[in-house]
Amino acid sequence: MTVPQMLSVATLAGMMALFIWGKFRYDVVAILALLASLALGIVKPKEAFSGFSDDIVIIVGSALVISAAVQRSGFIEVALSFVSRRVTRVRSQLMVLTAAVGFASALVKNIGALAMLMPAAFQMAKKNNTSPSVFLMPMATASLLGGLITLIGTSPNIIVSRVREEMTGQPFGMFDYAPVGLGLTVMGLIYLRFAYRLLPRDRRAAPTMGEALDIKGYVTEAEVVEGSPAVDETVAAFLDRHEREVTITQLVRAGLRSAPHDHILLREGDTLILGGDPDALERVIAKDRLKLEGEDREKVDADDDDEIGVIEAVINLGSPLIGQTAGRLALQARYGVNLIAISRRGEHLSKRLANTELRGGDVIVLQGPLQQLPERLRSLGCLPLAQRELRLGASKRGWLPIVILAAAMLSTATGYVPVAVAFFAAAGLMMASGVLPVREAYDHVEWPILIMLGALIPVSDSLRTTGASNVIATWLAETASALPAWGAVALILAAAMAVTPFLNNAATVLVMAPIAATFAGDLGFRPEAFLMATAVGAGCDFLTPIGHQCNTLVMGPGGYRFGDYARLGAPLSVLVLVVGTPLIMAVWPLH
């Protein structure tokens, strides 16, 4: 090997050592690797930041925004709840959850699919009086497998597609991954159906600050509007359809209050005083398209660019709200905020919000311009509580993100526009249409991942520019020379699976994909099967909580320990190797 080649390999080896050490976060490690490459001269200064202009950075960032919008819409969670009401056994619920998150991961980034369906797992666990640990790790595993189905399911697929385009001029299409990905996903779901017993059932997550507050008895006010499923439905049918997660404490019709007897038919224009947990209230209001109190009022003192949101606060002693009602105070006219929910410990509230006399210690939910809410809270003598995600009053246009996503996928599948353009446009439309507030869009972008990608692209490319990838591929080819063709594909698949627990999966592909492609050429094979093996191996880290964000996401809520992952993941890793190798070769011939 030449000196530049040795320096390139040494830089990547040092980078892997830093990843394994864990002293620095992965984006900082990538920056250090780029700086070292510049200092050693294996990356030219004019190429140092070329990675940040690469399409992959745009695609991954846009995919995260799209995933956040679909997650916020609640579309998939609502679809799943329809099924979950009819499935009561833990084993069957596990199949529903893993299948749902697996196939949803084909449509949105797998971390987004997992995040949007985790609340459903918590609901099912609560109803069954079981630990969420029974569901969460299998769901994370299914999300990794489901991410293999399409181009956008996981970052490695996007990177591998780019490598194929550089080698052959033809990238992998949106659904080129589907035959292999679907086969492995179905195999994985069958495995999880039985193997979930390997997981401990006594694990519990540490309680969050929001749970410690234990604020459950909110009361809010919502109007039945035209087109709502609640129109012409009895009170009993309404409550049963929502599994009695909420209560109707009062019904207001034509300005007159009445008790909500079970036989009363709900009509358009009725106002319901609803009580329940914040999550349950949000689900009922969104699902039945009810109009939350104050939604259509003019937002005073708010600029056009101000984002409207909600905040949870407690009324402090000495607050001007004490002894007053929202109606008498004219909160909207004087302070530019709406009172949309109240919780009072030890008391069941039944009056309309505008007529409820407020007391010190009441917990209230206020809606208004987010930038101005802290100042308004000080004026009202209220203290904000520990941050909890309250979505009362969120956009109910759950169908719009799905339409935008479908249009983006269709345009890329037909080759009408490049993937980067389609997904950048989709992300922009999500924000412009208001289905995802701009602040939330930026919050959901995983900037460390994008920094890592931008920094590692020129570093990993140094293997190619110095010729080191050719040398490594030759060594691998010599090792595989005595192996049959399937053994060569299995070698690449196993190597990618072995490296991924120590590197971020995107970093694994950036390093492994060029080597796999050159390795295939040295053996006289087409590169597709080897690139696909790299993508599958990088996407299938079932052994540790650190190799993929999905595994990390469930570790805390599931109360898992490091060794729990290998219990469930080691047998599945062997199955992926045994089933995936012939499946890849059947779909992508070597000649």
- List, for residues 258-269, the tens digit of each pLDDT value: 889 999 999 999
Least confident span in 5-14, 37-46, 246-255, 495-504: 495-504
Rounded CA-CA distance 134/91 in Å is 9
- List, for residues 73-131, the tens digit of each pLDDT value: 766 666 666 666 677 788 888 998 999 999 988 877 777 678 677 767 877 787 777 88
pTM to 2 decimals? Answer: 0.62
Least confident span in 171-175, 207-211, 516-520: 207-211
The answer, yes or no, to whether residue 231 has pLDDT greater than 90, is: yes
174 band by pLDDT with thresholds 50, 70 and 90: confident
- List, for residues 194-223, the tens digit of each pLDDT value: 998 888 776 665 444 444 445 557 888 889
DSSP conformation class of 52: G
* Contact present, 504 and 26 (Cβ < 8 Å): yes
List, in sequence order, the alpha helices (H) in 155-253: 155-168, 178-195, 209-213, 235-241
Least confident span in 5-9, 124-128, 162-166: 124-128
User: For position 560, what pLDDT does the model report?
Assistant: 81
Most confident of 70-79, 80-89, 160-169, 529-538: 529-538
* Contact present, 119 and 190 (Cβ < 8 Å): no
Residue 460 vs residues 10, 42, 276: alpha-carbon distances, Å = 12, 10, 53
295 band by pLDDT with thresholds 50, 70 and 90: low
- Would you state the structure tokens that stand for residue 82, as one six-digit string? 């329809």
Rounded CA-CA distance 29/16 in Å is 9
Q: Residue with structure tokens 């009725």?
A: 270
User: For position 534, what pLDDT does the model report?
Assistant: 92
Among 143, 76, 77, 208, residue whose Cα is nearest residue 557: 208
Least confident span in 213-217, 234-238, 243-247, 272-276: 213-217
The answer, yes or no, to whether residue 54 has pLDDT greater than 70, is: yes
Rounded CA-CA distance 182/180 in Å is 6
Least confident span in 381-390, 432-441, 469-478, 549-558: 381-390
The answer, yes or no, to whether residue 248 has pLDDT greater than 80, is: yes
User: For position 33, what pLDDT does the model report?
Assistant: 92
